[in-house]
Structure 1
Amino acid sequence: MDDMAASEVLVALSTAPDEATARRLARQLVEESLAACVNLLGSAQSIYRWQGQVEEAAEWMMWIKTTREAWPRLKERLSQWHPYEVPELLALQVQDGHAPYLAWVLANVKGADR
């Protein structure tokens, strides 16, 4: 797979307040074909500023494999489903990767050529 195709794959990062919420969000994203895969990493400690105060919370990290084409819809849907007022949602462009894996991501996200 060439660099152009690799650049169509994104890794999105988000957090959830607990395991049940992270699992629900991950399943919804995969079921709607907005993500090919979501990895859940448990019990991350977050320190952040919210409404003028420094806060700490345990959260679950979600690594979401998606495509550039699906990104706008993924942002919209995750924002609708997420319990946080301002959910973390960042997208990182993939520069390179294992060609069969990148092809699998592209084939399993809605809107990708299948």
Structure 2
Amino acid sequence: MSTPGDATAVVVTTTDSDDEAERLARGLVEAGLAACVQIVGPVRSAFRWEGSVSVETEWQLVAKTAAGRVEELTAWIAAEHSYDVPEVIAVPVTGGHGPYLRWVTEETRRGD
């Protein structure tokens, strides 16, 4: 059974500053790769990097996009992000408010 969310994905990334979070969020929307990006933060992240465990303050970005744009959105983040290895995690949307999900798809398919 198909739902409006079948063509939608949520992509999460983090960064170390509010300024970069806003730059990335604006860039994703301006490029038509995300219909909406929420900036959440600051958050605390614990992770192992180069052999040491760190706990750092970050800002999380939650981008809503068409499932077919995830690969391009991922490449854009990798190219524009200040981290050597930025987090980019895509999760398929399996349901939700149909009109909103259609809006996400329409906004991120412009120019296709």
Q: Same-fold call, TM > 0.5?
A: yes
Equivalent pairs: percent with the same residue? 37
**Contiguous gaps of at least 5 residues in structure 2:** none
Which whole-Å CA distance do the structure 1 matches of 2:32 and 2:53 have between them? 36
Alignment of 1:19-98 (within 5 A): 19-98=18-97
SS at match of 1:85: coil
> TM-score scaled by structure 2?
0.94
How far off its partner does 1:5 sit?
Answer: 3.5
How far off its partner does 1:7 sit?
Answer: 1.3
Question: How many residues are aligned here?
Answer: 112
Which whole-Å CA distance do the structure 2 matches of 1:45 and 1:94 have between them? 25
How far off its partner does 1:4 sit?
Answer: 4.3
Contact 1:18 1:59 in 2 (8 A): yes
Aligned to 1:108: 107
Deviations 1:46-92 (A, max 9, x none): 00000110011100011000111111110111100000000000001
Aligned to 1:12: 11
Over the aligned positions, Cα root-mean-square deviation in angstroms equals 1.6
**Contiguous gaps of at least 5 residues in structure 1:** none
> TM-score scaled by structure 1?
0.92
Name the one with the larger helix percent.
2
Which whole-Å CA distance do the structure 2 matches of 1:98 and 1:5 have between them? 8
